[in-house]
Amino acid sequence: FRESLELLGGRQAAAPSAAERLAAASRHLALFSELEGDRVALMEMRKHLSWYSKGLPGAAQFRAAVNRIEDPCELSGAMESFFHE
């Protein structure tokens, strides 16, 4: 909503911070796991994390690492590490 308010106020919207991206991605993973199960959540979040990490330093390496992860807990750890750097 912050971005919408900035745009409506005639200001350039700032990109979401790494912490905001992590919070959204973590919630996204939790909801996917709850609704679809861990396997589907893992596969879908591999795709979505490309968007969450877009434009951040080290994003290409992060995406490559994420695509090799086979466990949702490991994925959460990788997300924490990447977005807190």
| Residue 24, domain member (yes or no) | yes
**CATH number assigned to the domain comprising residue 72:** 1.10.1200.80
Per DSSP, 56 falls in state S
Within-domain flag for 55: yes
- pLDDT tens string 36-83: 999 999 999 999 999 999 999 999 999 999 999 999 999 999 999 999
The residue behind tokens 């919630």 is 27
Q: How far, in Å, CA of 49 to CA of 83, rounded?
A: 11
**Can you tell me whether residue 21 is helix, strand or coil?**
helix
Would you say 50 and 77 are in contact if contact means Cβ atoms under 8 Å apart? no
Q: What is the pLDDT of residue 1?
A: 61
Query: What is the per-residue pLDDT for 81?
Result: 97
Structural domains counted in the chain: 1
Range of the domain at 80: 17-84
Tell me whether residue 21 is in a domain: yes
